[in-house]
């Protein structure tokens, strides 16, 4: 996915990928967020993810490590933080030139559900989305968005994303390894004795 260079608005390290999604919605942002999980090795090398926004609503997603787009990319990016996040602004017409966008499209609330696990943010995002986006979903109709809480979870793609996550033993082992390191570091730091 080739995006034009945007104007950098924010660059920071956050513990939760909810931040760029909520920030984009608050700002009504047209642009994109680049997310780089701390454990970039989990994304097979160059592990960054991009989420584009139109008027604050997520539109397209892409994971550079796996070179996958759409709902699958969200599965690739769902991992423990912290994340380094950059938020960029683009002109309103910047996405018009992307003619191969359909493969990267996600339902509006799905990033909040998948990355942040935040049904309330997902619901707010769906409310902010144009009706056409909510109705159209990914374009195939299979992962269409709904107004009800967590409606996207009913899409077949979502089920397969959760199952694909659980089938990715390497990624889960990396999550476990990181958690073990944190647990041991914190035991020392907080002196559980």
Our finding on whether 170 is near another protein (CB under 8 A) is: no
| Alpha-carbon gap, residue 170 to 91, rounded angstroms | 39
Q: Contact with another protein (CB under 8 A): which of 46, 92, 147, 163?
A: 163
Nearer to another protein by Cβ, of 2 and 192: the residue is 192
Let me know: does 104 contact 60? Beta carbons within 8 Å. yes
Nearer to another protein by Cβ, of 90 and 116: the residue is 116
Mask for 19-58, x = binds another protein (CB under 8 A): ----------------------------------------
Let me know: does 94 contact 5? Beta carbons within 8 Å. no
| Alpha-carbon gap, residue 170 to 176, rounded angstroms | 10
Our finding on whether 165 is near another protein (CB under 8 A) is: yes
| Alpha-carbon gap, residue 17 to 19, rounded angstroms | 5
Q: Using CB under 8 A, which residues numbered 71 to 130 contact another protein?
A: 74-75, 78-80, 113-119
Number of residues forming the site for another protein (CB under 8 A): 36
Distances in whole angstroms, Cα of residue 112 to Cα of each of 9, 66, 106, 178, 190 = 20, 21, 11, 23, 32
| Alpha-carbon gap, residue 137 to 174, rounded angstroms | 32
- For residue 166, the minimal CB distance to another protein (Å) is 4
Q: Contact with another protein (CB under 8 A): which of 13, 41, 97, 166?
A: 166
* Nearest alpha-carbon partner for 61 in 82, 32, 88, 39: 32
Q: Which residues bind another protein (CB under 8 A)?
A: 15, 74-75, 78-80, 113-119, 150, 153-154, 159, 161-163, 165-167, 172, 175-176, 179-180, 182-184, 186-187, 190, 192-193
């Amino acid at each position: 996915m080739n995006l034009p260079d945007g104007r950098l608005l924010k660059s920071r390290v956050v513990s939760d990928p909810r931040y760029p999604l909520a920030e984009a919605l608050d700002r009504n942002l047209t642009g994109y967020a680049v997310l780089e999980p701390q454990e970039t090795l989990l994304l097979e090398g160059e592990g960054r993810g991009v989420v584009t926004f139109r008027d604050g609503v997520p539109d397209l997603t892409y994971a550079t490590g796996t070179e996958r787009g759409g709902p699958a990319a969200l599965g690739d990016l769902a991992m423990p933080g912290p994340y380094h996040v950059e938020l960029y602004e683009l002109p309103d017409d910047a996405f018009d030139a992307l003619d191969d966008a359909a493969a990267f499209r996600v339902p509006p609330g799905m990033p909040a559900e998948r990355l942040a696990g935040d049904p309330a943010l997902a619901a707010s995002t769906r409310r902010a989305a144009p009706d056409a986006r909510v109705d159209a979903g990914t374009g195939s109709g299979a992962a269409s968005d709904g107004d009800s809480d967590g409606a996207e979870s009913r899409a077949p793609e979502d089920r397969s994303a959760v199952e694909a996550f659980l089938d990715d033993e390497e990624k889960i082992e990396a999550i476990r390894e990181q958690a073990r390191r944190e647990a041991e570091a914190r035991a020392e730091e907080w002196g559980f004795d």
